[in-house]
Structure 1
Amino acid sequence: MRIHVPSNVPMESTPFKGMEFEADEIAYGFYNEYGRKASFSIRKEYVNKCKKIGMVTSRRFVCAKEGVRGKDKRDQNVKNPRAETRCGCEARLVIILNRDSKKYVMSEFIAEHNHYLHLPSTVHMMPSQWKVAVTHAIEIDLAHESGLRLKQSYELLSKQVGGYDNLGFTKQDHKNYLRTKRQRDMEHGAAASLGRYFSHQLKENPSYYFATQLDCEELITNIFWADARMIIDYSHFGDVITFDTTYSTNRDARPLGVFLSLNHHSEIVVFGGALLYDETIESFVWLFETFLEAMSEKKPITIFTDQDAAMSVAIKVVMPKTYHALCIGICDEFLTAWNEMLDKYDVRENKWLIDLFKLKEKWAQAYVKRTFTAGMKTTQLSESFNADLKDCLRTDLNIVEFFTHFETVVNQKRDKELEAEYNPRQKFPRLNLKSSPMLNQVATVYTPKLFDLF
């Protein structure tokens, strides 16, 4: 058996018999640090406690390769058995409590190992060195809430400290930390976790609005929420809105609905969100009634949606005077062009086209131009926002993580608005007619986007 003795370890970091420690955990930390510098992993082997005094009386810390794995009767049936990690190494450190001084004294120390020691560049991979520090935990949380994938987050943290070996934990530790955090967040169940999330939001801002619909078994079916900023924005820009549902790919697979519009900078503004149990008339009626309640019963002039029959019925019930528009066509001579198309392709008996024509008042420009649309023509606004939400809809997110990511996307949109507020104060529009009093006046009143349109 070849003996390997750690070298290049400073004397002040090397254990010796008679060394004293204030606590057994301090002794463990000292030996673990010695193991890091000597390039071997350690573990706790046994502990003796005195029930009478309620203290640890002795403890042994050993090399992680101490002992041998016990024989398992199942080994012969396992196709790919785990690799051996122990080889009977006898390196160890033993401490005993001095009952007079209440300190722990090192009674035994064996430095020799019967195996190769690790390379200094791989020390961070040793199990006893795996530890996510508090500062790193905060950064992991922030990266996760910002939508960074685990691989991206781990790469970012390693670059901040000059490499993986300086990080102090592996990618698996990173993954385990997030898994434990998820379990802790959801330890009381989805409904209770959601309740705590909304309670926190209300505490931060009493104007935060949320509502849940329960079924006959008192289980949450539909959820609607809007923060104070969304409610204020709706009072300014809620005359024309778009609403769309997309099947989310988070673990609950619930349809996600978002109320959107454009602000005075032609930037997307969010008025509220909903997670629905289904897409029935009853669910949409509850949602639209709840939305209007949150918005002080102010009904939009126009609402754009996709061609969902249940949604259409619900809009008629809840907002009968609101114009319901679908995707708008571009043909001015609509009827002539429509008939020419039917004849050209011989599709006058096509049922889909017949049904679509019955809805022409909702999508053909010749009809929709009679109502106020604030320049919006399609539900493309929703499609654009849904694309930004893709990280919120990952299958590995629980309900609380979903809301956190949704907040991030909304805040990104609000940052865009701040940029749009900054730019006209920093840059002045170019006037084709600099002597025009009217252009000079509206250039100071309109936002750049609307001034260009004017």
Structure 2
Amino acid sequence: MSHSEEDDCYIEEEENKYDNDKTTDGKVEAAVLSANNFLNQQFVNYEEAYECYVRYAKCVGFGVRKRDAAADSTGNYVRHKFVCNRAGVREKKCYATTSKIRKQKPETRTNCNAMLSIYLDKSCSMWKVRKIVEDHNHPLIPFKLVHQIPNHRTISDADKAQVDSMHRHGLPPSKIMGLNDGQAGGYEFAGFTKKDLDNYIERNLRSKIIEGDVNATLTYLHGKAEDEPMMIVRHSLTDDDKLEH
């Protein structure tokens, strides 16, 4: 997130009036919304409401989890609740374990009640806010560290392209992460962590291995079909050249 975007998160409330003209591609800009502003908003679908609440949470300093959802008699969702990532408490059985194989993770749940509840108004087919709770029972995360919260971490397309290029040239993940932190102006400004980078590289590697196995199998089967007149091999690909049938 750029410095100007950081400034947008701290606009004074009296300047924070929602203007229908101040949208991006029809979506509400969370950076110019206070919690009270959410009460007046409507969303095309619940995913849009979730994304908006996540952007608001990033500005304020907490993470978001999807929690309760309810459907009508036809199976369509009509209610959703998004909560603070520190909502709820750890189950008691987790404290009773005596296993020494795996060390318990630090306690992070504080039974925080901050949340956003939305419902589907069937009269207009729009999602509206039923209730929002703004108060947290724990310290909020400083803005320079908020990207460490899982659902605020992301590797942009530009970063992915750079990571792919450096990895092809043999740079280890630790070096790639160091270069990324340097370009971002420091670890606190990087949009992702070393673990996110490792996971991205591993997923790419698995994908290449799977695609290689598929190509080898197809080559083998088509070769067999040429030698066996009674054998027929056919396959189809998706729009992005993945094996479909």
- Using the size of structure 2 for normalisation, the TM-score is 0.69
| 1:96 partner SS | strand
Aligned residue in 2 for 1:70: 91
Aligned mate of 1:146, from 169, 187, 194: 169
Evaluate the alpha carbon distance shift between residue 110 and residue 187 of structure 1 in structure 2; reply closer, same or farther with a 3 A threshold. same
AA in 2 matched with 1:70: E
Between structure 1 and structure 2, the one with the greater Rg is 1
Q: How does 1:47-196 map to 2 (within 5 A)?
A: 47-50=69-72, 52=74, 55-72=76-93, 75-79=96-100, 80-187=103-210, 191-192=213-214
Q: CA deviation at 1:149?
A: 0.8
Aligned residue in 1 for 2:237: none
Aligned residue in 2 for 1:359: none
Q: How does 1:419-438 map to 2 (within 5 A)?
A: none
Evaluate the alpha carbon distance shift between residue 33 and residue 73 of structure 1 in structure 2; reply closer, same or farther with a 3 A threshold. closer
Task: Return the alpha-carbon distance in structure 2 between the equivalents of residues 90 and 71 of structure 1.
Answer: 20
Task: Return the alpha-carbon distance in structure 1 between the equivalents of residues 49 and 11 of structure 2.
Answer: 17
Q: How does 1:51-450 map to 2 (within 5 A)?
A: 52=74, 55-72=76-93, 75-79=96-100, 80-187=103-210, 191-192=213-214
AA in 1 matched with 2:156: A
| 2:131 partner SS | strand
Evaluate the alpha carbon distance shift between residue 73 and residue 127 of structure 1 in structure 2; reply closer, same or farther with a 3 A threshold. closer
Q: CA deviation at 1:9?
A: 5.7
AA in 2 matched with 1:154: M
Report Cα offsets for 1:331-369 as digits up to 9, x if no partner: xxxxxxxxxxxxxxxxxxxxxxxxxxxxxxxxxxxxxxx
Aligned mate of 2:50, from 3, 28, 44: 28
Task: Return the alpha-carbon distance in structure 1 between the equivalents of residues 132 and 163 of structure 2.
Answer: 38
Contact kept in structure 1, 2:144 and 2:189, CA below 8 Å: no
Task: Return the alpha-carbon distance in structure 2 between the equivalents of residues 152 and 44 of structure 1.
Answer: 35
AA in 2 matched with 1:77: T
Q: CA deviation at 1:78?
A: 2.5
Task: Return the alpha-carbon distance in structure 2 between the equivalents of residues 134 and 91 of structure 1.
Answer: 32
Report Cα offsets for 1:81-114 as digits up to 9, x if no partner: 2211101000000111111221110111000000
Task: Return the alpha-carbon distance in structure 1 between the equivalents of residues 73 and 154 of structure 2.
Answer: 31
Task: Return the alpha-carbon distance in structure 2 between the equivalents of residues 51 and 156 of structure 1.
Answer: 53
| 2:111 partner SS | coil
Structure 1 unaligned regions, length at least 5: 1-6, 199-454
AA in 2 matched with 1:140: V
Q: How big is the alpha-carbon RMSD for the aligned residues of Structure 1 and Structure 2?
A: 2.5
How many residues are paired up? 189
Evaluate the alpha carbon distance shift between residue 148 and residue 78 of structure 1 in structure 2; reply closer, same or farther with a 3 A threshold. same
Task: Return the alpha-carbon distance in structure 2 between the equivalents of residues 22 and 138 of structure 1.
Answer: 32
Say yes or no: does 1:44 pair with 2:78: no
Task: Return the alpha-carbon distance in structure 1 between the equivalents of residues 167 and 144 of structure 2.
Answer: 28
Aligned residue in 1 for 2:34: 14
Quick one: percent identity of the two aligned structures?
26
Higher relative contact order (CA 8 A, sep 6+): 2
Q: CA deviation at 1:8?
A: 4.0
Contact kept in structure 1, 2:86 and 2:108, CA below 8 Å: yes
Task: Return the alpha-carbon distance in structure 2 between the equivalents of residues 184 and 75 of structure 1.
Answer: 40
Contact kept in structure 1, 2:58 and 2:146, CA below 8 Å: yes
AA in 2 matched with 1:175: D
AA in 2 matched with 1:34: Y
Evaluate the alpha carbon distance shift between residue 172 and residue 73 of structure 1 in structure 2; reply closer, same or farther with a 3 A threshold. closer
Instruction: Give structure 1 regions of 4+ aligned residues with deviation exceeding 6 angstroms.
Output: none
